[in-house]
A and B are shown apart, each in its own frame.
Chain A
Amino acid sequence: MYLSPSRITLGVFVLLLALSPVAALAQESADAAGGAIDATDAVEETIEVKRPDLKEPKHTSLKFLRDNRVFLRSQLDRLRLQVTRERGDGAVILDERYLRLEEMSAAIAAACDTVRSGQELAARRDLMESVTQLGEMEGELTLMETLVAEQQRRLLALEKDFLGHQETALVIVVRGLSGKGAPASIEIAEENEVVRVDLTREQQRSLEQGGIAQVFHEFVEPRAHTLAVSFAGSSWAGAAPLSVTVETTRDRLTFLELDLSRLDPNQPTLGLLTSTWYR
């Protein structure tokens, strides 16, 4: 069948006319959906103060409680709650390189400085002794620039891992038990909250061989925390809790390292080394 160009043009025009309402409807739907998304994005919260509507219940409930609320409240006021959370997964032995991230960051920064000083030195050279030396210098600079670019890429990746959407959190790691009997469990208490981490025999052996254990990783309030750290186990019986203060920074990951290498279970008040760093 042969269709003339004029017929084809007419056909396309008719088809466009027929589809235009559908297209308009689709556009409206899309606009409406877009509007809904915008409305969700632009949530405004307002605060209005009102008095509660006090409705008398149809059926009396909890009558004794209501009649004796003063007595019951006075009894409850004499209590305090102690919350103990027991971690099922126990302690986690860490790769020591994980703790060297700060050193790595410093090394990267040092490399950047080296490259920068090399560039400055090259810029200060007034006269090249030969064209060949000039070519070598250019090659060296290109290599250094490549190194800088790679280091910057690594640094960005590290920053993304540790700084992206970071909330205030505290990580406590324990080390320095090489050659000593590792405790069976470690308790970290703050006010009325206690976290107890039981160490498996395998984890104890790892610590005794110089390993490092992460015993705590929680979101915390950004403030100064005074923690009572205590150890339990055959060689740690009777050891008094140690007080450690750490300041957690808002939206940063705070690492607290407890170095027990100089700690004597018989004289626990002496010898606990701590260090703190942030990511």
Chain B
Amino acid sequence: MNNPQLNESGELQHLLTTEGLPAPILLKILDTAESFVGVTERDIKKVPLLRGKSIFNLFFEPSTRTRTTFEIAAKRLSADVVNLNIAVSSQSKGETMLDTVNNLSAMHADMFIVRHSQSGAAHLIARHVRPEIHVINAGDGRHAHPTQALLDMFTIRRYKCDFHNLRVAIVGDILHSRVARSQIHALTTLGVPEVRVISPKTLLPSKVERLGVHVYHDMEQGLKDVDVLLMLRLQNERMLSARLPSAEEYFKHYGLTQEKLALAKHDAIVMHPGPMNRGIEIDSAVADGKQSVILPQVTFGIAVRMAVMTILAGN
């Protein structure tokens, strides 16, 4: 089955998921992002690469954070950006998702950045756009959030250099997390020898071990000798749907505190895709502590997205 993300020459045509992308492609994105970090650090944070290109943010699921990062990244590439919060406009008039996409394509869009509450939305759009248009998945349901995983990999490489001798733990609601799925695929592809997921049974998907992870229900066991801690956000919905009793009990067993962090390696780094629920999945002391690299993640996120857009536009 041919990979819908790659064109006939094996180059990236769309970025829909980290699953199925060969390591060289992932590494190229990380390497290119290195150069963009430098750009974000100087006064003129722009380069003229995507001048004249139109990038449309198609957010069927609202998100100010992610949309803003993509917008900043696109503008730093000198592209023209159009933001569409579809939830509010045409969808309510009964226009189908593909009708919206077709209308926008007719406006000479070069790239669509899509966020949707349903898994597979970005794949569907990528199947239906004209060949010149590139699609970036900014999050589809529970399925994937590839740019988040890539910026997480970039961050890990920055602080830990070599993927090949790391123990990485992903903590939290794996079942509902597109970030976790994308992280797992990226970590295993890049050669991380041990990927752990730490979660209560009600928040783990079926047969998750088949993705190449070790499952832990006990956080203290799971964090032993870990080099990288990837924390996930806990949605309030989980209590309402009878998967968890309360945020307090969750914090007691799965929240990251100084004491639990001490079980990991002394130079372990703590990451979080944001926004954080302080006191639920992570303690403020840890979030603001010296092992936390949560703020640098945000900066790297812009550089990584610039790299993704550049590589797609150039293929």
- Decide whether A and B assemble into one complex: no
